[in-house]
Amino acid sequence: MKGKLTAREIAALRAAILPQRIDWILNDPHFGAKSLSELKKEIFGARILLVCSDLANGTKHFRLDNPKTDITLSSRTGFHVDPALGIFQEHFYIIAPCTNDAFHRKEVRDFLLECRDTWRRIIRQALFVVRR
């Protein structure tokens, strides 16, 4: 089907809303983290989530006035076409000033999947308590 997103792309798009989820969780009195201060420390100590936040906010607002990191997103630098499957994918890469940075030249979909996995790990470790 033309224009159909792959499961990988859908997962990546879901990961892109992580910055908003952080605010929701930290400000929701019913969320029920065992230790809110420990949860905050985990979230804001995870560099990958800070990079994700910068990329999401920068693309959402077309500019980023107060970045948390020095990471940027490349202009389109490649694409994949499979006409038989109706696939046209543009490729975007993470750019870091230091070429030894773990995120440098990582394709954004792969990066966002790592963000999602980090987020899930942090949430699982929060050991939720149901508050009523």
The model's pLDDT over 72-84, given as tens digits with 9 standing for 90+, comes to 777 666 666 777 7
**Helices (runs of H) and strands (runs of E) counted in the chain:** 5, 4
Around Cβ 52, how many Cβ atoms within 10 Å? 27
Does residue 132 belong to any structural domain of this protein?
Answer: no
Question: Into how many domains does the chain fold?
Answer: 1
Does residue 2 belong to any structural domain of this protein?
Answer: no
pLDDT at residue 45, rounded to an integer: 92
Does residue 70 belong to any structural domain of this protein?
Answer: yes
- Runs of H (alpha helix) within 16-107: 18-27, 36-45, 47-61
- First vs last Cα of the chain: how many Å apart? 45
How many percent of the chain have pLDDT more than 90? 8
Radius of gyration for the chain, computed over Cα atoms and rounded to the nearest angstrom = 17
Q: Is the pTM of this model over 0.75?
A: no
How many percent of the chain have pLDDT more than 70? 70
Does residue 110 belong to any structural domain of this protein?
Answer: yes
Does residue 130 belong to any structural domain of this protein?
Answer: no
Domain range for 69: 7-125
Lowest-pLDDT choice from 23-32, 77-86, 108-117: 77-86
